């Protein structure tokens, strides 16, 4: 019998100073049996960094043709495609062809360094792609915030985010490996 996903309930309050976006979100995140709490929390950070009323979580790790998060316009056109981790370069290229903007929130320490070294030149051809990196320490601190029921706030200002609860929190400094060409308005 296959193991089912674990559901995490999150009340997330987002204050994104640069975008003038202030909203509360009630989220239910499904953690696939093969997914770590670290990855789950990086997905949650990705949501907070790009929060929007139309931003939705994809079906998860087991679905190849969907991102971790996406935002579609009313006609179904994909405005924003977000992947977490170290996705395959071909999958990123395909996503760049399907969405107006693609963001990869990468983490993984030395694996991230190797992934970037192997894929940087090919990824640079995608003008609608942005790649941000989360340090191993920050990813670990995010994982420490995980609980089956969470009440978190996130403040985003310039290239950093503070995310935390009443008991603990952490600061994440966004390291841009690559910025999308053109206007970054959402």
CATH 3.30.530.20 for domain 6-178, yes or no, is no
Q: What is the side-by-side strand order in the sheet with 149-157?
A: 21-31, 6-16, 149-157, 160-164, 169-173
Residue partners of 164: CB distance under 8 A and separation at least 6: 145, 152, 153, 170
Q: pLDDT at position 4, please?
A: 82
Instruction: Tell me the longest C-alpha to C-alpha distance in the chain.
Output: 49
**Residue ranges of domains in the chain:** 6-178
- Indicate the pTM of the whole model: 0.93
Q: pLDDT at position 184, please?
A: 39
**R_g of the chain, CA atoms, integer Å:** 16
C-alpha–C-alpha distance, residues 141 and 139, integer Å: 5
Q: Which residues of the chain have pLDDT under 70?
A: 1-2, 60-64, 182-186
Q: pLDDT at position 60, please?
A: 66
> Could you give the angle at the alpha carbon of 54 between the alpha carbons of 153 and 5, nearest 5°?
70
Asked if residues 157 and 171 have their Cβ atoms less than 8 Å apart, the reply is no
Q: pLDDT at position 186, please?
A: 40
Q: pLDDT at position 61, please?
A: 67
């Amino acid at each position: 019998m296959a193991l089912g996903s674990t559901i995490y309930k999150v009340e997330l309050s987002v204050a994104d100073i640069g975008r003038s976006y202030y909203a509360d979100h009630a989220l239910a995140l499904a953690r696939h049996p093969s997914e770590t709490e670290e990855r789950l929390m990086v997905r949650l950070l990705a949501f907070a960094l790009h929060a929007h009323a139309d931003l939705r979580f994809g079906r998860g790790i087991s679905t190849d043709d969907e991102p971790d998060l996406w935002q579609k316009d009313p006609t179904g056109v994909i405005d924003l495609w977000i992947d977490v981790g170290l996705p395959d370069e071909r999958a990123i290229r395909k996503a760049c062809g399907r969405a107006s903007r693609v963001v990869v929130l990468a983490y993984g320490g030395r694996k991230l360094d190797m992934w970037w070294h192997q894929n940087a030149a090919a990824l640079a051809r995608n003008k609608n792609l942005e790649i941000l990196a989360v340090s191993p320490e920050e990813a670990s601190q995010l994982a420490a915030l995980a609980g089956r029921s969470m009440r978190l706030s996130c403040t985003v200002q310039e290239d950093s985010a503070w995310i935390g609860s009443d008991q603990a929190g952490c600061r994440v400094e966004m390291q841009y490996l690559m910025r999308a060409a053109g206007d970054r308005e959402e």
